[in-house]
Structure formats: structure tokens, C-alpha cells
Structure 1
């Protein structure tokens, strides 16, 4: 599906392809970028051409394809391609390519391009689990991240042959979204040696809406789509963070590079978030968590009788206050806790009055207050809000993309993280 409507600007994008079986999936990346109107130059390694031929890359990109530094030498491609790029994507990035990039090798056109690029560089690794977990690969990934590159965590699933585990290439569409996030945020470092502001940080984000079961077919729930939480996860990844995404009843594509934990109820979400928060630098509770649940669960479907006055009475009980618990029991010094408050004003207080009261009662560091209604907040592509901090400050974020609100919030988190 084309994303041209959401990404108007045309960029010069280099797609590096290294020699792994997942190289065929990079074809979808080229197609999407080209259909969205971007100028795409494919730079494969010689090994990559064993999996997908030169003619395929040229046809999809509309650009000539070379692998060596001596092709079209008068144009100095080993320098010019990297210098002129707005973004470099390496899909897939094999263990060998990561090693050569980390050591600064320049023995083909792709590695030479990586050395000359002064734009954001994203690596999407794909390899067997043992290769990904090998100390040499771990060290190479750490080196590249420290220099400012974004290395997306591979997905878990079926690998080549009968093997399964971590090392699978994330979905191509999700990789493209990470690239767009970086291009449009303008926050990625554009010079080697300067790491993104969330590099080396682990952040936990909750998203979606919990559901509290009444019987085998019914539940109490809410209208949260999870889009804001997913935007927060993508934004954090684009800024170099390791992301754990706790998703409650969300029907969205996976965020490439995030560890996603799927939950249903408020109790399940509480357990998943508390577990993930054990080594987190920041926790952002963007999920809409049910305040109440049915006191009793019916094992069989609640039947409707012929009597119009015979309606069941449902007793409710409070669910755990996850935000207050996280704020009161911080497991790491300097851990930042962020809450979201979906509010409506009433006769007694405004939306911001309710938000300030909630910030004080929960004990969190930051609270994003959203005014919600039929046409705003939930199930929308856009959002707006006010970021309140525990020192009394406030920052208004005007109506715009949920990505814009996400980056505004991460700016506040970064300011408060200990060095």
C-alpha cells in the first residue's frame, strides 16, 4: 500500500542489500519506496546478486546497479552515492556486512558508501540465531549503534531450513516505516560518532485498550486503537532505543525492531509492564487501562430472556492502578515514569484541572493530557495534548500526527534521563 499521502517529500534513498536469503524481501522495500515517489539507488553486494539478480533491482528502482568501486569510475560512485543520500537502508544486513561496516572496511561499493554517508543509516539484520547472539556480532552491533547507526532488532520466527528463532528479517513495510520516521522527524544524527539521544536506553511503552471479560463472548472495553503507543514505539526506535511494546488488543502491524508482548486484560498488562520495567530507563503508559472489571465472570453466555425488564446487574470492582504502582516502586534510580490521561471536562473542572489532579495523585514524572471525544483522541490518525511535569510546567502540543506528539514527549523524557 502506498504511503505517499502521508509522506509528501521525495528523498534520495540508498538501499544496500547483502548476501542473505532474505534479500528477496528487499524487493518489496524498493517497490514501496519507489511507488511513494522517492529516488532509490540499490547497492547490492556480489553475494546478494546470487539471491536476486541485477536486472530485478534495476527494474524496480529505475536506476543502474553496480557492486564494485571501478564501475562508472569517472562518477566516483563510491564517494558520491553516500554523500548525496538522505537515508541509507541495509536490508538485509548479514553478520558479515555488520562486521565489515563496524571495522570500517571499504572493499566494495556498499561498504564504501557506508563510510561516506553523512545521513542516517539503518541496518535491518537477518541471520541465524546463533550468528546474531555470537559475541562478535553483539560487539559489532554495539559499535555501529555507538557511532549513530540504527540497528533494528531482528524478529523471531521461521528462519532457513527447519530452524526457528530470533534473526528473522522484520516485515518490509515495518522497516520502511522506521525509515520514514527518521526522515520526517529530523532527529537522527547526520555525522558518524554521534549516537541518537536514546541510544543505549531501554524504554517500555504500553498501547491499546484492555478488555475485562463478562462472559465467554462479552467484555468491558474502550475505543483505544493503540496508534499513539505504536507511534511512541517507532519514535523511540528511530532515536536508538531498545523498545518493549506491551500491546493490549491492538490490530496494527508490528513495529520493526520492538519486542512486542501481547496482552488482553488490565491484570495481564500490569504483569507484563512491571516485568519489562525491571531494567527500563523509562516507562510510558499510553494504553487505555480499564479502571473497573466485573466482580464475577460468568462461565456461560448471559442469556436474554423474553421479559423486557429482566436485565442483568453487573457488579464492578477496581483494577490495579498500574501507573501509581510504577511511580511508587521504581526499580532503578532515575527511572522516568510517564502517564496518559484521556479526559473530558465537566461542570466542576476543566480537562487540565483533571490532568493536574491525576499527575499529583499518581506520582509520575510526566503526564500527557488528551481531551477525548467523538472526533478526537481515540481511533484517529492525529492527536493533540498538553504535557504536564511534576514541577508544574506544561507544554502544549498542537493537533498533528501522533508521531509529532510522540517525539515531543521523548524530548521531555530525554531531558530528565540521568547521564
Structure 2
């Protein structure tokens, strides 16, 4: 672990600053939108716009990098992010914010692709797994820490928006100044969606539903908190609890995943997350109850991203794992675009009201749990000894990061096989 830190600390530090800025702007817009008098349905389009841009960026950023190189793409896109964050309070309008969120989502996707390819290049076979773990921890800590920055300035003013912009701007320094070689960039050609669905129906359906669940958390959590009258510190803690749960539960769930039928674990995790959402419906907006609900939902649904990818990999040859990652991320992105919009519609007072935030999560997790049960009736489980390793990753991972994880997973599996043969 120390070896990874010594070789990639500047890159990880820069990524942490990026996540601080991104986590801060998401929560900040949710709170500021309430202060500006925007409806939850209007804010849902603002929040969904980020995922539209992110999905587009994940498809176009690799070609941009091939044309002009990593350094130019990173510097240009990060500059756009910084500029848009300052402009949010200048144009308090849902259309302007939606356009800004598309731009920010597109740019963050490209920035992540660039940073993740650098991280991949900075590691070797021996420490790639440790680098992945550190990368995910940095991502989660960045988003959690960002919530504390909400208390530094007044969300009705400019200060907090400036802080988010500055964080993104200074992230350039440690990353660009520490990178000497420019890595070769290449990604696997994804397999068709039809092939992917035939190989793993549960993986594909689960990734689509999970996209909606994660987007509802990431995009509408702060909107919900502001709507039900939580104070600014309470909103920050509420949003942070989703990611604290994910950080604490990811590794125990991964340990269980390697020792049981993954479909059963997908069912259990979905059921617990759904129970958490029902708890939020029944006992919210009591602050203590909301924290319990957020911990259960975040702790179960975020690790499901890694679990569904691992489940899909169980039905793939090693050579096809990287190719499948692009399709899974695309499916997840489609669900993420729809998630905030449906959530915002349900949160309208004429429909369900603020509790619609938990209703959509409960419905989607219930569908996933039921579909997991159905799939268990369609084909037998793969013996545990024949399944691959589950490697942790965040739901914000790009195609590059997932391919990076796939490489580390394959290497770990090959090492296990060699060790068994020698024994």
C-alpha cells in the first residue's frame, strides 16, 4: 500500500480534490434550488442533466484523448468544470443549470477517464489491486468530505460555489505536475447489448435499475432534505451517510460475494436496501430515522454495482470481460438519466410528496430482488469455487476504471489458480 501511495499520491490527491468539488456542487445545487423556489420536478431535470453529460462523455472522451492527448483533454475539461461552477449562482434558472450540468457531467466523465488511465499506467501487476482499493476509498472520502464544506459558506450566496470551483482548479496542479509519461490509450471494443443481455440478464437489468437508484441518491438526496425542512448541517450529514454506508459495507459484502451464490446476495442486498427505503417512508422526516434509512440504502446499493459486474463476469471468458464493461456502464447510465426525473415527478405534492424519494428506491430495489428470484429459477448456480473475484468499485467508475478493475481481477484469479496448482 505504501508503494502505491509513493508512486501515485499526487494523482490520488488530485482525484480527491475533484471529488470534493463534484460532491459539493451536487448537494449545493439541491439546497440552492429550494432557496430559489424551484419545484422538485424542475430540479429533477437539473440533476438528470449531469448523467446525460456523463454518459455522453464516457462515449466521446476516449476519442478526444486519442486525438489531442491526455494533458490537453484533462486541462480543457477541468477548466470548463471550474467555470460552470462559478456561473451557477450568476444564472439561477433551471434551463441554465441543466445546460451547465450537462457540461459538467460530460467534462467530469472525460476527466475521470484521463485520470483513471494515468492511474492504470502508474501501477503494475503486483500493486494494481491495492491501487484500485485506494482509488475507491479516495472517491468515497472525497464525496463524504464535500458535505462538510456545505457548512463553510451560505448556499444563498457565492462563497460555496467559489470553493467548489477552486477545488477543481487546484486539482490540476498535483495531477499535471506529477505525470511524466503520457500513457498509451486504448479501450476494448464493447460487445453488443443483445449479446450482453443474453449472457447475463440479471447483470443487465440490475445495472439499469441500479443506475436509477444511485442517481436518485446522488441527484435528489439534497433536494429531499431541503424539501422536508432539514437544516443545512442535517442535509450534509444525510447525504454523507449514503456514502459512509457504502464505504463500510463494500468490503464485507465483497467477502461474502466470493463465498456464496451471488444471486442470493443480490437478492439480500436489494431486500435490505428496500427495507431501508420503506423505513424512510414510514419514519421520515425524523432526522435519526433518515440516517438509518440512508445508511442501509447506501450501504447495500452502492456495492451492488461491483457485485453485478462480478456476477456478469462469472459467465464470461477473461478475454470478454473488458469488452462487456462498456455495455454495462452504458446500461447503468441510461437508468441514471431516468432516475432523478421519475423521482422528481413522484416528489411533487400532487403525486406522492417528498416521500416519493424513498418510494422510487423501494420500488426499484423490490423489482431487482424479485428479478433475482426469477433468474434463480431459470438456470442453476455456478459453483462457488468456479466464480471469479469481486473487486470493489464506485458507481461513478468510467469504462477505463472498470477495464482497469477487470485486469486486476483476472490477474488475481490467475494467481489463485497458480497457487492451487502448486499446492
- TM-score tier (shorter): under 0.3
The higher relative CO (CA closer than 8 Å, separation ≥ 6) is in 2
**Larger Rg computed on CA atoms:** 1
Give TM-score, length-normalised by structure 2.
0.24
Higher strand share: 1
Higher helix share: 2
Give TM-score, length-normalised by structure 1.
0.24
